[in-house]
A and B are shown apart, each in its own frame.
Chain A
Amino acid sequence: MAEQRTGSGKARVFGYAGAIAAAVMAGLLSLALPEVLAGGRVLFGIDWAPSLGVSLAFMLDGLSLTFALLITGIGSLIFLYATGYMGDHPRFGRFVLFLFAFMLSMLGVVMARDLITLFVFWELTSVTSYLLIGFDHENAQARRNALQAMLVTAAGGLALLAGFILIGLAGGSFDLAQILTGPGLQDSSYYTPILILVLLGAFTKSAQFPFHFWLPNAMAAPTPVSAYLHSATMVKAGVYLLARLHPVLGDTPAWQGSLTAAGLVTAVMASILALRQTDLKQALAYTTLMALGTITLFLAGSSEYALTAAVTFLIVHSLYKAALFMVVGAIDHGTGSRDVALLGGLRGALPITALAAALAGLSMAGVPPLIGWIGKELLYAGAATISPEPLVILGVLTANALMVAVAGVVALRPFWGARIKTPHIPHEAPWQMWVGPLLLGGLGLVFGLGAGLLQPMIEAMLTTGFGRDHAAELHLWAGFNLPFFLSLATFAMGITLYLMRDRYRRAIADLLARLPGFDPGWDRFLDHFRTFAAWQTRLIQPGRLTAYLTATFVVMVLAIGGALLLRRPVIAIDLSAPLLIWVIAAVTAAGAVLTLGTRSRIAAISGIGTTGIGVTLIFIFFGAPDVATTQLMVETLSAVLFAIAALRLPAIVERRSKSRQLAHAVLAGAVGLTVTLIVLAVTTHPLDRHITSFFEENSYSLAHGLNIVNVILVDFRAFDTFGELTVVFLASVGAYAVLKRRSRKAGP
């Protein structure tokens, strides 16, 4: 990293601008608070593609406003933090741009009122997070991990699009406000496919088992990005979607079963792996997985307790996780290391960071009077309402106990105990880097002591988001009940695990060594996929003109000719024509025969030209002067083009085998027959004149032109013409580029 930090630092101003812009957006969003807290929905937007029923519409209710405030609020602190962390990076301006684009995409996801709009922003978050994770693009590992994150989440996004389209078909609208107030889709015949597709989208984004492997790898990103992506944004998009669609898709055995299973497995597995890590950032990455699993698990339920627990824990987690990531970045920045084994006794050197770490870490461990304690109590209360209750309670207890131990490792261990010599002499982070964690940690304390402060927001989420009458109440002290005793058990287990962590790590490492890893599996899968792609490209794109033409003609004969023959069209052949037409037809045919028979390229080109001129004459004879002139010009120019290219080639030598020549002849005959059949079938029908008569009537009155052909080209169908022009010109420029590149390679 050190050699990259050579930028002038002038780009810092962009970082401050980003922080201010995000803060202003948070302020604007909070204008909607009064109405949302009163249980209302704020709707705004514009029509986008009205003919498809798609609009760029936004909606703010309890759920989306909570997410939007977290995104912009934490986003503002992240911009500030990044300015201190990497403001002198030579590409810092670009970094701020990516981060801002990412923030806007996230806002779009949570505020979209229209499912298609939501999908577009959803994919934008995948793309922008790719840029952020792979920001250190000179590092091959960072590139690989960024690509992995994008492939997994974008593949899920495609499934999601299919799911959304089915929702639109089943519910008759893409408008979330309508879908949410509607009867729900649980009884729809599309329910199962919708559920599978939507869950694929949400689980890949929120890194639920078995799609969890990309998330720890995304740690290749600079720390401010990890702090943002893993706390309030990116991974929360999947959770947001699950919460959003809970009223429409939830409350069924399939929903409860799949969310419980995925959430429980992810939460327990991730917390077991988290304690094993010695890199602070990796440890936090796994605790993010644990939090996502927990929220998913509680969204499986339908009771007020389960849902209140889910949304409360979501806020709790966003606050402490963003703070802890920033703390880890500050430790890294101040000491040059993120390895727990190399850190200790830093509280004297980094006092403010230590305070922020303590606040956030205690909240993560669920110690009273912080908000984390309330969150944990709610988790236990909620766990008792999700079946199978004993298993869920046991899983949540295990995960929480491990969180206590990890909180100790991440937030306590580096600052307390004996001072250990670090790679740099430790120093406190600049103010930009401790404002964020301190504020977020402090908020954890404020919301913990004033438990009622969050209550209105949680009420709004439960009523408008989930259609409940009210939320469970947030209490700092709820009495000697089951959650209280479970909390005591959590602390006991957590402290034991913390003290035994070294032995625990060895045991888990031994176990993991014997299990197949997901990451090598992913690489193998990509390798096979590439091999397959190369194989099918060679199959479809052999690079030989004859192969392409054969494929095109075979399809044409089978599809069009076959369909025509199946339909048994009425064909009347009328051979009465003036002698002149017969002569022109004979000349045209003679040109074609000449082209086929000759071995001389110049004769072949003349033959093609003869055929073209013959067709032109027929156009003139039947009164289409425009078409005839165009045809004449095109024939002239193509003869010229052919001549330039073909005359420099050697004489035609027949290399095909007899059987292949015969096959080509049969195919050519079949194509000729098909086209003849088409023309005969079309001319036998009476001409439908209603389009012609429209143009005849309106050409002069609407477009002031007498030449219908030209009026159609430049007025009625001008948009098509513009498209064709672009194609003509770009094709020429493309050919130009290819030709010039060749000549430069071969030239002097």
Chain B
Amino acid sequence: MKSLILLTGARFLVPLFLVFSLYVLLRGHNAPGGGFIGGLIAACGFTLYAFAAGVEAARKALRIDPRTIGILGLICALIGAFASAFTGQEPFAGVWGEVWGYAVSSVLVFDIGVYLAVFGGMLTLIFALEETA
């Protein structure tokens, strides 16, 4: 059951979802948002696309298997968590630095990990359900 209206709409909406999810991820430190919400929003975007164009198309558009994305997320979170080892602090302590005038931190790396793990986890589940049901 393919709907032309949904498919056309999804083509416009999915990029918006993704960009918005990145925006939410990055602003999360000082304003409502963060990796968890961002990951959910991005997952919603791809779910919409999977509904409109089919799971196979969605998997192709994603290019990487969602399970791999989830594992990358966990690894990313671990890197963020243990970056503090280089400064001699305990694990999960934030490390802060400055790049071209922007404050960056291991906390952001951790948050990106959260984003990817949630995104990958949700899509693993949804794609699998769609394919089997």
Contact = CB atoms under 8 A, between A and B. Distances in A.
Interface in A702-734: 703-707, 709-711, 713-715, 718-719, 721-722, 725-726, 728-729, 731-733
26 contacts: A629-B24, A629-B32, A629-B37, A633-B43, A633-B44, A637-B40, A644-B133, A703-B94, A703-B107, A704-B105, A706-B30, A707-B31, A709-B32, A710-B34, A714-B35, A714-B110, A718-B81, A721-B114, A725-B74, A725-B117, A729-B120, A731-B125, A732-B120, A732-B125, A739-B129, A743-B132
Contacts, number: 144
A736 B125 contact: yes
A-B interface, 3 closest residue pairs, ranked by CB to CB distance from nearest:
A633-B40, A732-B121, A710-B34
Contacts of B51: 640
B40 A630 contact: yes
A710 B33 contact: yes
Given A630-B36, A710-B34, A718-B92, A740 B128 contact: yes
A4 B120 CA distance: 47
Contact of A704 (B71, B81, B96, B132): B96
Contacts of A636: 44
A729 to B, nearest CB: 4
Interface string B101-133: 001010100110110011011101110111111
Interface of A: 625-626, 629-630, 633-634, 636-637, 640-641, 644-645, 648, 703-707, 709-711, 713-715, 718-719, 721-722, 725-726, 728-729, 731-733, 735-736, 739-740, 742-743
B38 to A, nearest CB: 10
B107 to A, nearest CB: 5
A636 B117 CA distance: 18
B26 to A, nearest CB: 11
Contacts of A739: 128-129, 131-132
B126 A644 contact: yes
B29 A710 contact: yes
| Max count, chain B CB within 10 A of own CB: residue among A633, A710, A714, A719 | A714
B128 A637 contact: no
Interface residues on B, range: 35 or more
Contacts of B81: 718-719, 722
A416 to B, nearest CB: 68
A715 B46 CA distance: 29
Contacts of B32: 625-626, 629, 707, 709
A729 B72 CA distance: 11
Contacts of A742: 132
Given A704-B29, A704-B105, A736-B125, 13 more contacts: A629-B41, A633-B43, A704-B94, A705-B29, A705-B107, A707-B30, A707-B32, A709-B34, A710-B29, A721-B114, A722-B77, A729-B120, A735-B125
A739 B28 CA distance: 34
Given A637-B44, A645-B129, A728-B121, A707 B28 contact: yes
Interface string B70-87: 110110011001000000
B40 to A, nearest CB: 4
Contacts of B40: 630, 633-634, 637
A626 B126 contact: no
A703 B107 CA distance: 9
B34 A714 contact: yes
